[in-house]
């Protein structure tokens, strides 16, 4: 080491320190800036019509979560059901009740049969028989005289009797009246033989002619409504002549 490396003077060092302190005291002091905390920005995207845009960063908000206590952890939680919502329905107005009075029951009236007096009985529907339907009830005729007969129904007969005196001649019996074409005439001699033939007389009569062959005595004449023809519409008249 050379002689030029001598240590500094103490006085020189002290003077340098004093000068430095003076200069430091004269230097103006500025306020210390407050440090700004670093923020973690949250970017919110908002969509517009046809484009995207960002909003201003929003600092996160700290949410304090209370820590459960030992009592709360040990207790059993009871969940109470929420009340059921029942919609209120307005009552439907009903029509007033009409009470109908019971109607009277109609009972069929049954009339008991009442005997009809004899004077009020309806006419019988049976066809009346003529008063002289056979030889036993035969009606006597007067020769040459017209006698009124009855209204015969189909199949009915009326029987007459007359006396023949001469031994020879002809018996002529004529029947007239409405529907006389339905009548059939039959002559019976005293010995029980049927005699004669029938011919029409105009449009309202029929006639029978029977020869007398030594047969004097009581003859019978039957007038019958033909059951195969149309029934006569009224009574007839009869006349017997001997010639």
Higher pLDDT, 104 or 194: 194
Residue 202: give its domain's CATH number: 2.60.120.380
Give Cα separations from 23 to 10, 12, 19, 27 (angstroms).
20, 17, 6, 6
Per the CB < 8 A criterion, the answer to whether 209 and 199 are in contact is yes
- Whether pLDDT at 224 is above 90: yes
Euclidean distance between CA atoms 164 and 176, whole angstroms: 22
Q: What is the pLDDT of residue 215?
A: 93
Domain contains 217: yes
Domain contains 97: no
Domain contains 114: no
| DSSP summary character for residue 78 | -
Q: What is the pLDDT of residue 231?
A: 86
Q: In the chain, pLDDT over 70 holds for what percent of residues? A: 53
Tokens of 115: 């005997």
Give Cα separations from 86 to 83, 90, 187 (angstroms).
9, 12, 118
* Phi, then psi, of 104 in degrees rounded to 5: -70, 135
Q: What is the pLDDT of residue 157?
A: 93
Per the CB < 8 A criterion, the answer to whether 179 and 233 are in contact is yes
β-sheet bridge partners, residue 225: 183
Number of independent structural domains in the chain:
1
Give Cα separations from 186 to 32, 176, 241 (angstroms).
179, 15, 15
- Whether pLDDT at 121 is above 50: yes
**Where is average pLDDT lowest: 2-16, 25-39, 49-63, 92-106?**
49-63
- Whether pLDDT at 89 is above 80: no
* Residue range of the domain that includes 200: 135-228+238-242
Give Cα separations from 185 to 179, 196, 224 (angstroms).
14, 9, 7
Domain contains 28: no
3-state class of 140 per DSSP? strand
3-state class of 135 per DSSP? helix
3-state class of 161 per DSSP? strand
Domain contains 167: yes
**Where is average pLDDT lowest: 115-124, 150-159, 178-187, 206-215?**
115-124
Using alpha carbons, select from 190, 171, 175 the residue that is nearest to residue 243: 171
Across 212-220, average pLDDT: 94
Euclidean distance between CA atoms 34 and 24, whole angstroms: 23
Domain contains 86: no
Higher pLDDT, 11 or 166: 166
Across 104-126, average pLDDT: 59
Domain contains 141: yes
Euclidean distance between CA atoms 57 and 61, whole angstroms: 12
Domain contains 25: no
Across 64-71, average pLDDT: 53
C-alpha 176 chain-centroid distance: 65
Look over the chain and give the mean of its residue pLDDT values, rounded to a whole number.
Answer: 75
Across 173-187, average pLDDT: 91
Euclidean distance between CA atoms 170 and 143, whole angstroms: 13
Q: What is the pLDDT of residue 73?
A: 47
Q: Which residue intervals of the chain are DSSP H helices?
A: 10-26, 70-74
């Amino acid at each position: 080491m050379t002689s030029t490396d001598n240590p500094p003077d103490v006085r020189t060092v002290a003077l340098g320190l004093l000068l430095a302190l003076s200069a430091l005291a004269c230097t103006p002091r500025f306020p210390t800036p407050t440090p700004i905390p670093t923020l973690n920005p949250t970017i919110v995207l908002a969509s517009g019509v046809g484009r995207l845009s960002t909003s201003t960063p929003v600092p996160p908000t700290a949410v304090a979560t209370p820590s459960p206590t030992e009592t709360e952890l040990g207790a059993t939680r009871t969940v109470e059901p929420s009340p059921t919502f029942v919609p209120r329905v307005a009552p439907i107005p009903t029509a007033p009740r009409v009470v109908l009075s019971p109607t009277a029951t109609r009972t069929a009236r049954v009339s008991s049969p009442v005997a009809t007096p004899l004077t009020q009985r309806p006419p019988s529907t049976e066809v009346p028989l003529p008063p002289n339907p056979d030889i036993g009830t035969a009606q006597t005729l007067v020769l040459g005289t017209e006698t009124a007969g009855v209204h015969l129904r189909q199949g009915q007969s009326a029987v007459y009797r007359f006396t023949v005196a001469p031994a020879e001649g002809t018996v002529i019996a004529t029947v007239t009246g409405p529907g006389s074409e339905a009548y059939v005439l039959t002559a019976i001699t005293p010995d029980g033989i049927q005699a004669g033939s029938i011919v029409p007389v105009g449009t309202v009569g029929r006639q029978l002619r029977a020869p007398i062959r030594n047969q004097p005595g009581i003859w019978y004449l039957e007038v019958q409504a033909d059951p195969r023809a149309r029934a006569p519409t009224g009574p007839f008249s009869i006349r017997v002549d001997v010639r």
